[in-house]
Structure 1
Amino acid sequence: MILERRHSEVTILKEIAELLNEGTEISQILSEVLKKLLHVTGLQTGWIFLIDEKGNYQLSAKENLPPALSVNYCERMCKGDCWCIDRYNDGRLDKATNIIECKRIEDILEQKLGETNELTHHASVPLRAGSEKFGVLNVGSPNKRIFSTDELALLESIAFQIGTALKRIKLTHQEQENALTAERNRLARDLHDSVNQLLFSLSLTARGGMEMTADEEVRETFSYIQDLAQNALSEMRALIWQLSPRGLENGLVSALNSYGQMLGLKVNSDVKGIICLPCKVAETLWRIGQEALANCKKHSQQSEVSIEVVTAKNLVTMTISDNGCGFYYDEQNELPSLGLKSMKDRTELHNGSFILKSTPGVGTVIQVSIPI
């Protein structure tokens, strides 16, 4: 009997390990693993919370949730207090626990908010790999109040597999980002050493040709060529900056000031609060600032722009404004350009907010706020 149970557990772990090794899309993998786990263990309901370093959680996978927990796109699972998450965050949940009553379900029963399918309790297991933690696995069934020691041990083994897979995926993403950064830097160097130098040489040659001839038409042609080369050189320098931002290591505002000056803009900057940003947030604000400054140079018909960066509590806000020609914009409509949409998308990837205000003849203001 013991051998049969052990063989069954090994089979379960093998099947789940195979699922975990198949992909790198976290939500899809967790959903498939949860479904397999419930199928092979005979449990009915499960869900997985991924939790970041600050204790913020998100519902990343779910299976067969009761109606009261599924209503409004699982709204009750995505906000509010939770005992299992509280225990996870304060360090009390360090192994498979037998058993945690569900606060969300208790609130539903107490307030008679819907059907719970007789689910009242669940087992909670932390997802970890070594000392690194990723979230919580919760499983349960109607009227099931006790998990055996063997059941908890199996759940803990599965949770460890999931945690290890999450760490592998995290490292894979980091490697991809590092490779992308290295490729950007290589491309920036190549452009600087080849195309940038050729454009500079073309500009000098055109200037020399203009000075060597007395023919007015030829001089105008050389002047036109020189202007084109200078414009292309400015565009190339801006592109190189976008690929490999120089000076970001000295701070976001310093880098944006330098980029604005390179574009020929007068940048008035103001910093409030201590600016010590996570690398990802700093790079996101840098990319958004680049696009905003480039737009100001191309469209505002002004050479002066203001940048304000404010940090307060757990939020950084960057505001870039000009007193240029502005344009008509209704907040109810879609953003009018791909560049502005890109800024908004970058902001929302960090759960931030993006605000655009523009008035013809008055100017344009772009404000980005990102949690830190």
Structure 2
Amino acid sequence: MMGESSRFREMKILKEIAEMLNEGTELNHVLSQVLKKLLDLTGLQTGWIFFIDEKGSHQLVAHEALPPALSYEQNIRMCKGSCWCVNRYHHQKITKATNIIECQRIEEAIETQNGDHNGLTHHATVPLRAGEERFGLLNVGAPFKTFFKDDELALLEAVAFQIGTAIKRLKLVEHEQKTALKDERNRLARDLHDSVNQLLFSLSLTARAGVEMTKPEEMKSTFTYIQELAQDALGEMRSLIWQLRPQGLEDGLLSAFQKYGQLLGLTVHINLKGVPHFSSQVEEALWRIGQEALANCKKHAGTTVVYIDLEKTKEKTILTIKDLGIGFQYQKGVQTPSLGLQSMRLRTEAFKGEFSLESSPDNGTLIQIKIPN
């Protein structure tokens, strides 16, 4: 039977981890801190957490004290490829804390001599879940430790349940924040349309009436100038309202690009390959990237024709936006030259995607986004 000291130690571990999980608000930071605390309190040395989606693809979201055999080249062995625990989890063969007899990733690292494994050859693996919802795996191990006792596995399972519950809570909070942000954008778009947009329209009509009613040429030119400014501001305002709440996105991404291009006075030629089905988050990211690219073309390219290619394969989505305008001097490998282009890059990288930019004077500009499915 478990002694009183062991029970007290386990309660202390669960209490401290629960407190950390309850206080945390940023998911990946919380997981890193909790993993470190778990290893410190249990005397284990190494651990990592995988998020695993419904397709069986994994993402390394937290890790602590990985040996060189696993951490070389920015943890590439942990981020790519598959392994026994991920495969078993995906096929629902891991439903509770389990001893994994030898680690496939470490085995492969030893065979290819990619660094010292520091005595780590085995690990325990525990599914992260809350009710029926599954999120991924918690893996922990220690040098020369080849077996985990039942009470150790029970403790890890209890911790994993705490982590799973916290993940669900934080994901709900994140969803609520995104919904609130979307609602706020819609409210702002309505307010701009109902107030500022109408004022600018009225100003444009008043200026036009002034041109028609005034005889002195100087006054006519002044009213004409006011009317032109009001029309320009009205166009900018409509563009801003579109950016806040794209009225065409409900008809699909390509329709939105076409309508936004028309709003800016651009002719958009679109080529589609594959079935354009995306998650709402990816679709919005592609939309914001395309918006920025079309706006840049309107302001800087010196052309009104834009070519958009959208290709959806089994592995990735590829969005290519090209113009044959005046271009600009850009050298690969240097910092992206504007905030708009930097925003496109950051949006792409948020989905583990690749952003590329090609441009040179008199040769136009090509922007390509590749986002894995």
Instruction: Output the TM-score relative to the length of structure 1.
Output: 0.94
Matched, 1:132 2:124: no
1:195-214 correspondence runs (5 A): 195-214=196-215
Following superposition, the deviation at residue 114 of structure 1 comes to 3.8
Following superposition, the deviation at residue 3 of structure 1 comes to 4.1
Aligned to 2:74: 73
**Structure 1's 352 and 3: CA in aligned 2 closer, same or farther, altered over 3 A?**
same
- What's the CA shift string for 1:263-301, capped at 9, x where partnerless? 111222222221111111111111111111111111222
**Residue type matched to 1:185 in 2?**
N
> Which range is displaced more, 227-236 or 75-84?
75-84
The answer to whether the 8 A contact 1:269-1:308 is kept is yes
What is the rounded CA distance, in whole Å, between the counterparts of 1:175 and 1:317 in structure 2? 29
What is the rounded CA distance, in whole Å, between the counterparts of 1:266 and 1:74 in structure 2? 45
**Residue type matched to 1:7 in 2?**
F
Aligned to 1:262: 263
- The runs of 5 or more residues in structure 2 that have no matched partner are none
Aligned to 1:34: 35
Following superposition, the deviation at residue 247 of structure 1 comes to 1.2
Aligned to 2:329: 328
What is the rounded CA distance, in whole Å, between the counterparts of 1:115 and 1:292 in structure 2? 47
1:86-235 correspondence runs (5 A): 86-235=87-236
What is the rounded CA distance, in whole Å, between the counterparts of 1:331 and 1:99 in structure 2? 45
**Structure 1's 184 and 154: CA in aligned 2 closer, same or farther, altered over 3 A?**
same
- What's the CA shift string for 1:54-87, capped at 9, x where partnerless? 3222322222333433333333333333211121
What is the rounded CA distance, in whole Å, between the counterparts of 1:113 and 1:210 in structure 2? 78
Following superposition, the deviation at residue 368 of structure 1 comes to 1.6
**Structure 1's 356 and 206: CA in aligned 2 closer, same or farther, altered over 3 A?**
same
1:268-347 correspondence runs (5 A): 268-347=269-348
What is the rounded CA distance, in whole Å, between the counterparts of 2:266 and 2:209 in structure 1? 29
**Residue type matched to 2:319 in 1?**
M
Following superposition, the deviation at residue 160 of structure 1 comes to 0.6
The answer to whether the 8 A contact 2:319-2:370 is kept is yes
Could you say what secondary structure the match of 1:101 adopts? coil
**Residue type matched to 2:259 in 1?**
S
Aligned to 1:365: 366
Following superposition, the deviation at residue 135 of structure 1 comes to 1.5
What is the rounded CA distance, in whole Å, between the counterparts of 1:156 and 1:58 in structure 2? 21
The answer to whether the 8 A contact 1:129-1:160 is kept is yes
CA RMSD of aligned residues (A): 1.8
What is the rounded CA distance, in whole Å, between the counterparts of 1:180 and 1:340 in structure 2? 23
Following superposition, the deviation at residue 128 of structure 1 comes to 0.9
> Which range is displaced more, 185-194 or 330-339?
330-339
The answer to whether the 8 A contact 2:60-2:79 is kept is yes
**Structure 1's 83 and 266: CA in aligned 2 closer, same or farther, altered over 3 A?**
same
Following superposition, the deviation at residue 111 of structure 1 comes to 4.8
**Residue type matched to 1:294 in 2?**
A
**Residue type matched to 1:220 in 2?**
S
1:3-22 correspondence runs (5 A): 3-22=4-23
Could you say what secondary structure the match of 1:194 adopts? helix
> Which range is displaced more, 161-170 or 39-48?
39-48
What is the rounded CA distance, in whole Å, between the counterparts of 1:69 and 1:268 in structure 2? 47
Could you say what secondary structure the match of 2:119 adopts? coil
**Residue type matched to 1:360 in 2?**
P
**Structure 1's 330 and 39: CA in aligned 2 closer, same or farther, altered over 3 A?**
closer
The answer to whether the 8 A contact 1:352-1:369 is kept is yes
- The runs of 5 or more residues in structure 1 that have no matched partner are none
**Structure 1's 108 and 293: CA in aligned 2 closer, same or farther, altered over 3 A?**
closer
The answer to whether the 8 A contact 1:213-1:219 is kept is yes
The answer to whether the 8 A contact 2:68-2:114 is kept is no
Aligned to 2:24: 23
Matched, 1:61 2:24: no
Aligned to 1:82: 83
**Structure 1's 270 and 119: CA in aligned 2 closer, same or farther, altered over 3 A?**
closer
Aligned to 1:236: 237
The answer to whether the 8 A contact 1:48-1:137 is kept is yes
> Which range is displaced more, 12-21 or 78-87?
78-87
